[in-house]
Amino acid sequence: MTDQPLRLGFLASRNGSSMRAILAAIAEGDLAAQGVLAVSNNRQAPALEAARAAGLKSLCIPTRDDPEAADAQLADALTDAGVDLVILSGYLRRLGPKVLAAFPGRILNIHPGPLPRFGGEGMYGARVHEAVIAAGVAESGAVIHVVDGDYDHGPAVARLSVPVAPDDTPETLGQRVTALEPDFYLETLKAIVAGKIALPTAP
């Protein structure tokens, strides 16, 4: 995307496992990028402490009481930090119009199941794995996609297939998918930095 290290901003509501893997790769010189900001809607999110430990500025921006104000604050924080690409790492809030307008085609999310069939409002975490098991499909997986104004709707950037075993439960399938997500996110970012994956051109 650029000759300069990609400046990453992270949004996480809980542990931020993918964020941690990405920051570790940056620290090891394995990814030509720079983490510059981490934001959570949850003041107790372990992801915030992990970001601080990695040298990132971290902020808590609650969204529940005033979503419009939080949207503006988040857009300003990401812009002021000079973020090139926003990485959602288990961020459990819908992004508002100001953030989406500030980073068109530059916000990525990972979804723990095949899209579009197992996506949409309310389809997250265990609900996705329950739906996959109930549908009797042979493969689940994860999809990294561009975030737009609709849940799980933006263009897919990369897909990872995970076979569904005959004796799988939502819990066992979820554990396998979750374990693969951080490395999948990291490898996708490497491909973006290397120019092997092109993000959609902003309108």
* 11 neighbors 22 (Cβ within 8 angstroms): no
The distance from CA 87 to its chain's CA centroid, rounded to whole angstroms, is: 5
Residues 6+ away with beta carbon under 8 Å from 68: 96
Residue (of 90, 170, 109, 89) closest to 135 by Cα position = 170
Q: Quick one: tokens of 49?
A: 């402490």
CA separation for the pair 35, 37 (Å, rounded):
6
Residue type, 32: A
Residue (of 202, 178, 188, 203) closest to 156 by Cα position = 188
Active site residue 145: no
Residues 6+ away with beta carbon under 8 Å from 191: 158, 197
Q: Quick one: tokens of 43?
A: 């003041």
Choose the catalytic residue: 111, 129, 145, 153. 111
Residue 5, classified by CB atoms within 10 Å of its CB into exposed (0-12), middle (13-18) or buried (19+), is: middle
Give me the active site residues, please: 111
